[in-house]
Chain A
Amino acid sequence: MHHFMRFLVITALLMLMACDTDSPEAQGGPVAMRRLTEQQYHNAIADTFDSQILVAGRFEPDSRRLGLNAVGASLVSVTPSGFEQYEAMALYIVGQVTSPQHRQRLLRCQPQDAARADDDCSRLMLGQWGRSLFRRPLTQAELQSRARIASETATASSDFYVGLGLALSSLLVSPDFLFRIEILEAAATAEQAEPLQLSSLSLATRLSYFLWNRGPDEALIAAAQNGELTSKEGLKREIDRMLASAYLAGGVRAFFEDVFTFDQFTELSKDVARYPLFSSDIGELAREQTLRYVVDHFVFQEKDYPSLFTSRQLPMTAQLGPLYGLPVRSGQNWETLTLPASYPRAGLLSQVSFSMLFAHPGRSSPTLRGVFMREALLCQTIPEAPADVDFTLFADDQQAKYKTARERLTQHATDGSCIKCHQFTDPIGLGLEVFDGIGKFRNTENGAPIDTSGDLDGRSFANPIELGQAFARSPLVGACLVENLYRYAVGREEVNTERRLLRYLEVQFEQSGYHLTELLREIASSEGFRTATRGDGQLASPSGVIATNSVGKAPTVSMPATTRRRESL
């Protein structure tokens, strides 16, 4: 589209929005089929049985697309080794559930004779477990086939529990459990064809994974079955209930864990000679600290998004004390400290989790830190370095004379093709250079003082605290959170018909004072969230990459248009 035309359209849309505060019409994009994540699998087992039933096994790695595993989940399948693991996990779970130790507690019925089949009892339990695992009631045929095999096996083995366990294991390895498969409501008449609604049960599942990162509870399934989610009031009632639930913390945590790419902590390793304070336990605690911080900030304290970058509240544990140079009372428990004004850290970005994750094993990396901040927090894409750059141009044999990362990176910036990207990443990354490769504070590198001054798209800063303030004031962070959260909710990139909705959500988020709960509510009740198109053809590109749209987003970004995040996959 011609730029001027695009400008006119956008202006018209903005004007429309100005006189209409209702959520706009927005046909949602294609339905998704998402593989459960490891955490979601754990949650499903805890919800279906209870927390005493353990999950043991290895999960296939998730796949990140558009910066989110939640989007990659719509693209991955199950490999032979992945399925082997699912089956082994199922057998382990079944073994526990049907063991004398647990079955009294977990079964709502007891067989008349444990050495014989009991169709009523196996139907009751398979129906209950199936409803929880499949996130919908089993069909007659599904229940029938499982009940039959449970009875036949119980008779043949003279053990009711062997039969029940066999049928249960078939539920645990089914695609209906391992994937969240969304379906559309059958349109009653041709006039009702547009926009197509998600089926009530699919909507319930989408809601519960979005807000809780777990399957719908009994009340939500019941509301879906009673048709309550098809009315505005009924839907609002359920969303309000879910936002007030204790499960919201798990949902918020899962979203930020995904945006922050914290799954990478599993494989994080550091050079122990250079970083004796590091261990994989410290890595896990650093990750936990940031997630606690985020959940506490948004869910328990109901604070706004910008102050996430500036807050002086910090959950601490004794083991992290040495890394922060802070005295912490001994003990295993977390306590929230209020950092003094003189302390050189405040807000999200100065936490050690980011410093250690976005660094090399043996040193910090202003570039990796800058790429993370640009891509995950501002939704801008930094292209890969061009393939044909001869890096030895910069590998000055006097390298030793450059003491600091800033001096070394300045050498890169002498080349035109490098500076195009490094000018976006390095200045903000260098703002965190006083944190070494595991986040420990330092004033000097190789004896030379570290300069952390720079600017974020015109907002200058002198140190990490001011960098956080610059992020808090950036107009891009709010819009980026909206974009990430919407994609996380629907498991794919937004389509053309949802772009207006995204603009609207940005405005609403701003008007709410950047309160996350309000944004969650707006997304959950939007038309884009509860409507969808068929999967056919929409995802038909041969590479399996989600189809994208040729129309770009509103030119509100200071980055060159081509670097807009993954705009053209």
Chain B
Amino acid sequence: MNLKRKIHRRGFLCGSLQGVAISVGLPFLDLFLNSNGDALAATGAPLPRRFGTWFFGCGMNPQRWNPVTEGRDWELTPELVPVADIRDKMNVLSGFSVKMAGESNQVHRTGVFGTLCGGAPKTAESIEGPSLDVLISDHVGMRTRFRSLEMAAMGDPRHSNSLRDVSSVNPAEPSPLSLYSRVFGLGFSDPNAAEFSPDPRLLLRQSALSIVAVDRKRLERILGHNDRQRLDQYFTSVRQLEQQIALQLEEPEPLAACRIPDSPAQIPIDSEVDHVVANHALMAETLALALACDQTRVFNMTFSNRASGLRMPGSADTHHTLTHEEARDKTLGYQPRATAFVLRTMQAWTSFVKTLDAVPEGSGSLLDNCLVMAHSETSEANTHSVMGLPFMTAGSAGGKIRTGLHVSGVGDSTSRVGLTMQQAMGLNIGSWGTDQNQTSRPITEILV
């Protein structure tokens, strides 16, 4: 699709606000003009590659989840039966562990932040950021409207593990509607629209932000070390918005895969598993099109929170309390009610991957240009184990990742997974992680 579109940029410059663009914020005018050439020049660019995480709480039962056979055509296990349909599009990475270097296992924290930050957190309230997705968004997220999108299917904005440092945890979109409004609401410019006419108020917004930057030097002089870092984070966020506005002033490239979804249905938002599954599905659909429309290249989906609060209607228990309090069935050898949530989770993962795969892009699907890492904070939740954590990846990252495999990490650090994700996404790093979780060995079995 390469429509000859009417470009209204000059008309916009002359007409809107009677030339306010010229008198206000000269640096931004430069940017605006510069973009003209870039935007027109960049035809036939390769399709973007995207990275995402998909988090689920309270792990699985290792003896029922971990595949026994390795490599291609691995044998389905009882708790992986739900992924049968997508087996060729994904990998299972079993046996990777967060190594404890004398730190205590902080329940429901060590597993997730050890994985995402390349090292076990040292104290109950510290986290040594940034998380993996932020490292990757620093690399691939700068040219999209949103550096990353965070989503929580249980409706709590705190259900996010994405952070630059402990002072700035990226809050999650708590509903399908809030995700939809943020992406496709005000400020969205359809890349396939016949006409492009940027909102003249964008220039005013840029000017307002440019004044704020003037205060930075003065504040830096009076602040202590940590507050200066927090101020830096604030200004990083200001720059991000400036970038977002600058992109909205550019005429977007046509994207064949992009279409604008309908506003999502409204379903009760709480921890009841049917509601969570339904809200998750709605978020996945909106996300898939946000990716297809190149609004972001990084995302973090929290299906269920750390210490999963998922519950069945009418039940006194949650997934988390069941993992601790439910008796192991003597004949089955596991906790049947807790395990039901593992199966629901694997079904949700499968539907998520299928949703990305259903969007055609280039000669394949959107999923082909994605790399999604599913992970949890425990393996066996009953004992809060961070040994042999469950990992799955989906998508081939634009040809950088082989799929259809099961790789056993035989107790290696989870940093090997994180390093592999970064290398597949084009980051030029040879080693990653701290202390015992440092590694320079990516999982070569899945790297192309």
Contacts and interface: CB of A to CB of B under 8 A. Distances in A.
B237 A146 contact: no
A523 to B, nearest CB: 23
A77 to B, nearest CB: 4
Contact of A537 (B17, B224, B237): B224
Interface in B299-327: 309, 311, 313-318, 321, 323-327
A87 B318 contact: no
A173 interface: yes
Interface in A47-100: 58, 60-61, 63, 65, 75-84, 87-88, 90-91
Contacts of B236: 80
Contacts of A174: 212, 215
Contacts of A191: none
A397 B211 CA distance: 66
Interface string B144-171: 0011001000011110000011111111
A134 B344 CA distance: 51
B416 interface: no
A79 B204 contact: no
B212 A175 contact: yes
Given A543-B122, A569-B124, A267 B155 contact: yes
Contacts of B384: 387-388
B319 to A, nearest CB: 11
Contact of B17 (A157, A272, A274): A157
A67 to B, nearest CB: 12
Given A388-B383, A539-B226, A544-B226, A81 B17 contact: no
Contact of A387 (B105, B212, B240, B325): B105
Contacts of A169: 205, 208
A431 B237 CA distance: 48
A360 interface: yes
A233 interface: no
Contacts of A273: 313-314
- If over half of A's interface residues share one DSSP class (helix, strand or loop), that class is named, otherwise mixed; here it is loop
Given A387-B107, A389-B383, A80 B271 contact: no
Contacts of B5: none
B222 interface: yes
B402 interface: no
Nearest to B137: A80
Interface string B102-133: 00111100100000000000111111100000
Interface stretch (B20-28, B69-77, B248-256, B393-401): B20-28
A91 B205 contact: yes
Contacts of A178: 234
Contacts of B383: 387-391
Contacts of A388: 105, 383-384
Contacts of B155: 267
A544 B24 contact: no
A399 interface: yes
B330 interface: yes
A361 B313 CA distance: 10
B394 to A, nearest CB: 25
Interface stretch (A4-12, A147-155, A293-301, A557-565): A147-155
B166 A543 contact: yes
B431 interface: no
B275 to A, nearest CB: 9
Nearest to B209: A173
Nearest to A178: B234
A166 interface: yes
Interface residues of B, number: 88
Given A77-B233, A79-B237, A173-B212, A361 B327 contact: no
Contact of A156 (B18, B224, B230): B18
B389 to A, nearest CB: 14
A271 B158 contact: no
Contacts of B316: 271, 274, 360, 362-363
A145 B211 contact: yes
B19 interface: yes
A392 B382 contact: yes
Contacts of A336: none
Nearest to A398: B327
Contacts of A489: none
A554 interface: no
- Chain B CB within 10 Å — which of A65, A272, A388, A544 has the most? A544
A204 B25 CA distance: 36
A33 interface: yes
Contacts of B224: 30-31, 534-540
B384 to A, nearest CB: 4
B240 A83 contact: yes
Contacts of B226: 535, 539-540, 544
A396 B211 contact: no
B214 interface: yes
Interface string B206-236: 0111011011000100111111011101101
B238 interface: yes
A384 B124 contact: yes
Interface in A385-429: 385, 387-392, 394-397, 399
15 contacts: A80-B147, A80-B240, A87-B209, A88-B186, A166-B204, A170-B209, A176-B215, A178-B234, A362-B314, A362-B318, A384-B107, A391-B383, A542-B128, A543-B126, A544-B226
Interface of A: 30-31, 33, 58, 60-61, 63, 65, 75-84, 87-88, 90-91, 142, 145-146, 149, 152-153, 155-158, 162, 166-167, 169-170, 173-176, 178-179, 181, 183, 267, 269, 271-274, 360-363, 384-385, 387-392, 394-397, 399, 534-545, 569
Given A77-B237, A162-B17, 14 more contacts: A63-B169, A80-B146, A81-B150, A88-B186, A149-B211, A166-B204, A170-B209, A175-B215, A269-B272, A362-B316, A387-B105, A395-B328, A535-B225, A545-B125
In the A-B complex, the 8 residue pairs with the smallest Cβ-Cβ separation, listed nearest first, are A535-B224, A543-B126, A387-B105, A156-B20, A83-B237, A269-B270, A362-B316, A273-B314
